[in-house]
Structure 1
Amino acid sequence: MAEMTEMTAPSAGNDLPKGFRSAEQGWPELHRIPHPPHRLPLVGDILGASRRTPLQDSMRFARQLGPIFRRRAFDREFVFVWGAELAADMADEARFAKHVGLGVANLRPVVGDALFTAYNHEPNWQRAHDVLAPGFSREAMAAYHPMMLDVAGRLTDHWDRALVAGRAVDVPGDMTRLTLETIARTGFGHDFGSFERSRPHPFVTAMVGTLSYAQRLNTVPAPLTSLLLRRAGRRNAADIAYLNRTVDDLVRARRSASGDGNGDLLDRMLQTAHPETGERLSPENVRRQVITFLVAGHETTSGALSFALHYLSRHPDVAARARAEVDRVWGDTAVPGYEQVARLRYVRRVLDEALRLWPTAPAFAREARRDTVLAGEHPVRRGAWALVLTAMLHRDPEVWGPDAERFDPDRFDAKAVRARAPHSFKPFGTGARACIGRQFALHEATLVLGLLLRRYELRPDPDYRLRVAERLTLMPEGLRLHLERRTTAPAKADSLTEEAPSEPRCPVHGAGD
């Protein structure tokens, strides 16, 4: 449930934050920051750029230009950061804060001032955060675990049918079904029936539409938006209306049932008063938070699972080692318990390494709280901001070595993690506004990987080459795997007393969303 990316391409279609009109105003020594060659008058750095892959374009420029660079789109300049030293400096909460970048700002017509789209000064963020944070406590997570298992069982039933029929499975599609049903069931007591449908649920279609439209806005000059995106704008309005109707119906049903949700997230939104002020969330705020959790709660986790399964299929030695751990820890236990998931430490490393290479929320923006100097070298004025390219931060050879592009879960063994510079692994954002649901996502993803490894051998299509689709978040495109049912029986489980279970380690310092 990672936070959505702030922005993945220079935007020409939205207003900049109040008091900040251009990078020249906020970065006094902008000339010292490199930009792509062959800049064109009026339009800027558009040569070789793609509307479909703006993040991957920025990664390409990052490799050419170094740990800090800039891009121009029409009359606006944008600063990108990915060097570990620079990113660590921007993680300093005393000097920098979350900036609602232009890509995320484009989603405000959908979710307004919800958790990941709220500006720092808007009170609804803190109000909702304080009410909902207990919903991600250890006790709450343990209560969600049986429902996660139930939804995972629907996935394996679906995959068993595909195996019998000799069909490859649609990994991104099925992971999206899984994670949507999981957050809907655990958070809101709702069943979308995703595995009973031959096509994605209309909620998913509408969600993908709004995310894609938000990204397209980043590539169109504001004066041309109504002309170039007229039809897309009408479709986006219809998508937003559908999301609103779906959530309104869900909330209405819960209110009619007198809040019988066993203390889930929706119950907390409807019934819990703020612990200090006594205020309750307004109906509009409830709607916005529900949409936020349904979208963010499944979109990024499904991508993380899909990338992890891709790498497991391509690295049979890693898959064998992870499978051996599942067999050792779970044994022939039919239903793994909540504590047993936390003991899958190598499986968790596989997930972390997939998130390192392709963090599904691949960037976040930070703005200066006051006039300061970034990494002792670049003066930054109050209100100026830069985009941290997480996907490149996770590839910084100064941190990850010359083989940073190589998939290697042992980068996350305890010794390696302790030796690594802080703030160099940020798949969930940073600071007070980091993803509130990260422990939910990590537990769900680790559980599902363990269940799939225990049940199947994963066979890749030898002709497939990883393609990454971008819609503010990242997802493998066209990934299909062939399955074989395991024939070897798992060993007896380790004694749970041998090693104290632990919560999945959070790679983000701080709390919040």
Structure 2
Amino acid sequence: MHNTTLVLATSVAAALVAYALKPKKAKTELEAQSKPVPVMPHYLPFQIDAVLGYISGVLSGDDEMEGLRELSLTLGNTMNLRGMNEDYIVVLEPACIQHILAKNQSNYEKGSAFKDIFHEFLGSGIFNADGDIWKSQRQLARPHFQTSEFKDSALINKHVDQLLKVLSKVLSAKPDEAIEVQNLFCRFTMDAASEFLFGENVNSLEHEQSEFSTAFNYAQSISAWRFRVPYWKIFVPKRRLLREIAVLDKFVYNIIDNAIARQEQRIKDGVVPENKIGHDTLLDHFLSYQKENDFSSAYLRDMLLNFLIAGRDTTASLLTWTMWELGQNPEIKEKLVAEIMDQLGPNTVPSYVEIKKLKYQKQVVNEVLRLHPPVPFNMRQSVQEDVLPNGYYVPPKVPVSYSAYITHRMPELWGEDALVFDPERWGPERVGKIRPFMFVPFHAGPRICLGQNFAYTEAQITLTRLLQSYDILAKNGFKPKPTGDIVLFSANGVEVYFKKRSHSEI
């Protein structure tokens, strides 16, 4: 214990000395002509009080996203969360978000800091890549995410069937208890995403504590802490992370080997010609380009885990917060149920085409995405110095982030009722007021999420079938604790009551 404390103290002292001796650079001409970004308040050298206060708040359960939103009310819509004399710029105005994601996208890469944080977990996959590697993966993956790949919704409905069975079983055992839905939805979307991407179901709905799911969750949790802690290589543990990643690797490499063997056998049996391999899954799709690209197993492993993190978490987050909002807003829930019954009735298993009839449901989903965007914070890194559209200076090689969570709650954009859950914002009378880059739950620009249509479809089909079968009621006194991790979840989950719906009630 004493040795560990000594090592940490020595490391911090060495870092402070290094910063103290670091020569100050003269201002460039561009910097001299621009405004400095307002810095988070601090009183001690190297912003130690601000850094420790932030970490302490997260550990004690403070709502870090709301804390940042409140800080923006003081500092403004561009702020510098500097810690240990390292800049960390956050932009909130739509014009600035558009600048870094689209207009000057080439100057804002994922960058070395982001890649460092995720390297062991995500390797060189699409979310951790820049330049030609990113372009190649995106170009190859795009066709698999076209609407035609999943419009019959058979795979989604298959997993909703299993979700409803598990929910019914839980309610049979505990009919009068509230259900924690976040864990349930994470397991559901893990199964659907793994089959869509890999062609193999990890069966986490059936086996809640599967090795794969446990390893996946731990890798995400540690990655989130690396974002928060300066000098994370010293302070954030790594030994267990490597063990859990080994579990992921074993599982994914086995799937890859099986898929390659399956493809080779299909060609050998003459089921498909060598130059036209089928691609029912994303893995099959990439393997159909194997001959000309010579993808390594490591490349395929990185690609699959990158898409899995998006395919599971975004929809699980969306469904979780939808349950919360419907419990809190019974009049909105009843209007939503009325639309489902009018358009589809109580028993129709919805297809992709039928979901499109549910206009009010889409408004509800968009409003959930506005107040509870699945990725609340997204980081880039500047390549060269730059000036934002609002006149603030961005140095080279510094993290520059935008927060969908805060932008989606800004009164100057959404009105004085910006914190109110109101699906009518998305109705035909008001939707025209929503300008580009005001609403970015799936990012925007060239790196906009490839799977957003799949996420909408999966969420809407699931929501429809849940409401066909159950009424959703709030648990009095329960309050979720949002976390600012990679994905916006609740630290204590979300608990609601499910009451079996009698169709004579409708």
For the 8 Å contact 2:377–2:484, the answer to whether it is kept is no
Tell me, in whole angstroms, the C-alpha distance in 2 between the residues paired with 1:446 and 1:365.
Answer: 29
**Structure 1 residues 26 and 272, CA gap change in structure 2 (3 angstroms):** farther
For the 8 Å contact 2:178–2:475, the answer to whether it is kept is no
Tell me, in whole angstroms, the C-alpha distance in 1 between the residues paired with 2:345 and 2:25.
Answer: 59
Deviations 1:265-305 (A, max 9, x none): 1111112369xxx4253322111111112222101210111
Tell me, in whole angstroms, the C-alpha distance in 1 between the residues paired with 2:467 and 2:328.
Answer: 14
For the 8 Å contact 1:124–1:285, the answer to whether it is kept is no
Tell me, in whole angstroms, the C-alpha distance in 2 between the residues paired with 1:418 and 1:383.
Answer: 37
Is 1:62 equivalent to 2:72 in the alignment? yes
User: Amino acid of the residue matched to residue 42 of structure 1?
Assistant: F
Superposed, 1:303-318 pairs within 5 Å as 303-318=317-332
Correspondence for 2:157: 149
Structure with the greater relative contact order (CA < 8 A, sep ≥ 6): 1 or 2? 1
Among 229, 232, 249, the alignment partner of 1:244 is 249
The CA deviation at 1:396 is: 1.4
Is 1:451 equivalent to 2:459 in the alignment? no
Tell me, in whole angstroms, the C-alpha distance in 2 between the residues paired with 1:330 and 1:272.
Answer: 41
Correspondence for 1:216: 225
Tell me, in whole angstroms, the C-alpha distance in 1 between the residues paired with 2:459 and 2:85.
Answer: 42
**Structure 1 residues 250 and 38, CA gap change in structure 2 (3 angstroms):** same
Aligned Cα RMSD in Å? 2.8
Tell me, in whole angstroms, the C-alpha distance in 1 between the residues paired with 2:354 and 2:247.
Answer: 39
Query: Could you state the TM-score of these two structures normalised by the residue count of structure 1?
Result: 0.83
User: Amino acid of the residue matched to residue 111 of structure 1?
Assistant: L
Is 1:115 equivalent to 2:126 in the alignment? yes
**Structure 1 residues 104 and 155, CA gap change in structure 2 (3 angstroms):** farther
| Identical aligned residues as a percent | 24
Bigger CA drift: 72-81 or 279-288? 279-288
Superposed, 1:331-342 pairs within 5 Å as 331-342=345-356
For the 8 Å contact 2:221–2:485, the answer to whether it is kept is yes
Is 1:272 equivalent to 2:289 in the alignment? yes
For the 8 Å contact 1:313–1:460, the answer to whether it is kept is yes
Superposed, 1:98-497 pairs within 5 Å as 98-100=108-110, 102-103=113-114, 105-119=116-130, 121=131, 123-143=132-152, 145-165=153-173, 166=175, 167-197=177-207, 199-222=208-231, 225-226=233-234, 228-229=235-236, 232-258=237-263, 263-272=280-289, 278-367=292-381, 372-380=386-394, 385-476=399-490, 477-488=492-503
The CA deviation at 1:33 is: 2.4
Tell me, in whole angstroms, the C-alpha distance in 2 between the residues paired with 1:104 and 1:447.
Answer: 35
Tell me, in whole angstroms, the C-alpha distance in 2 between the residues paired with 1:24 and 1:312.
Answer: 53
Tell me, in whole angstroms, the C-alpha distance in 2 between the residues paired with 1:285 and 1:22.
Answer: 40
Correspondence for 2:92: 82
User: Amino acid of the residue matched to residue 90 of structure 1?
Assistant: I
SS in structure 2 at match of 1:245: helix
SS in structure 2 at match of 1:142: coil
User: Amino acid of the residue matched to residue 119 of structure 2?
Assistant: R
Tell me, in whole angstroms, the C-alpha distance in 1 between the residues paired with 2:71 and 2:314.
Answer: 25
- Whose helix proportion is higher, 1 or 2? 2
Bigger CA drift: 477-486 or 51-60? 51-60
For the 8 Å contact 1:371–1:380, the answer to whether it is kept is yes
SS in structure 2 at match of 1:196: coil
Bigger CA drift: 382-391 or 295-304? 382-391
Correspondence for 2:44: 40
Aligned residue-pair number: 462
The CA deviation at 1:150 is: 0.7
Instruction: Give unmatched runs, 5+ long, in structure 1.
Output: 1-11, 14-20, 492-513
SS in structure 2 at match of 1:387: strand
SS in structure 1 at match of 2:471: strand
Tell me, in whole angstroms, the C-alpha distance in 2 between the residues paired with 1:23 and 1:57.
Answer: 34
Deviations 1:2-43 (A, max 9, x none): xxxxxxxxxx99xxxxxxx99988983687422233332124
**Structure 1 residues 27 and 162, CA gap change in structure 2 (3 angstroms):** farther
Tell me, in whole angstroms, the C-alpha distance in 2 between the residues paired with 1:98 and 1:36.
Answer: 22
For the 8 Å contact 1:105–1:117, the answer to whether it is kept is no
The CA deviation at 1:262 is: 5.4
SS in structure 2 at match of 1:116: helix
The CA deviation at 1:346 is: 1.4
The CA deviation at 1:381 is: 5.2
Bigger CA drift: 85-94 or 209-218? 85-94
SS in structure 2 at match of 1:289: helix
Query: Could you state the TM-score of these two structures normalised by the residue count of structure 2?
Result: 0.84
**Structure 1 residues 178 and 26, CA gap change in structure 2 (3 angstroms):** farther
Deviations 1:176-231 (A, max 9, x none): 1110111112222112122222x332222212211111122234343x734x33xx
**Structure 1 residues 262 and 94, CA gap change in structure 2 (3 angstroms):** closer
The CA deviation at 1:56 is: 4.2
**Structure 1 residues 487 and 117, CA gap change in structure 2 (3 angstroms):** same
Bigger CA drift: 150-159 or 255-264? 255-264
Tell me, in whole angstroms, the C-alpha distance in 2 between the residues paired with 1:336 and 1:369.
Answer: 47
- Largest Rg, 1 or 2: 2
The CA deviation at 1:405 is: 0.7
For the 8 Å contact 2:181–2:320, the answer to whether it is kept is yes
For the 8 Å contact 1:26–1:380, the answer to whether it is kept is no
User: Amino acid of the residue matched to residue 377 of structure 1?
Assistant: G
User: Amino acid of the residue matched to residue 147 of structure 1?
Assistant: L
The CA deviation at 1:48 is: 3.4
Tell me, in whole angstroms, the C-alpha distance in 1 between the residues paired with 2:220 and 2:347.
Answer: 40
Tell me, in whole angstroms, the C-alpha distance in 2 between the residues paired with 1:370 and 1:478.
Answer: 41
Tell me, in whole angstroms, the C-alpha distance in 2 between the residues paired with 1:127 and 1:426.
Answer: 24
**Structure 1 residues 487 and 97, CA gap change in structure 2 (3 angstroms):** farther
For the 8 Å contact 1:341–1:443, the answer to whether it is kept is yes
User: Amino acid of the residue matched to residue 203 of structure 2?
Assistant: G
Correspondence for 1:9: none
User: Amino acid of the residue matched to residue 135 of structure 1?
Assistant: H
Tell me, in whole angstroms, the C-alpha distance in 2 between the residues paired with 1:462 and 1:362.
Answer: 27
The CA deviation at 1:387 is: 0.9
Tell me, in whole angstroms, the C-alpha distance in 1 between the residues paired with 2:105 and 2:340.
Answer: 43
**Structure 1 residues 399 and 159, CA gap change in structure 2 (3 angstroms):** same
**Structure 1 residues 31 and 326, CA gap change in structure 2 (3 angstroms):** same
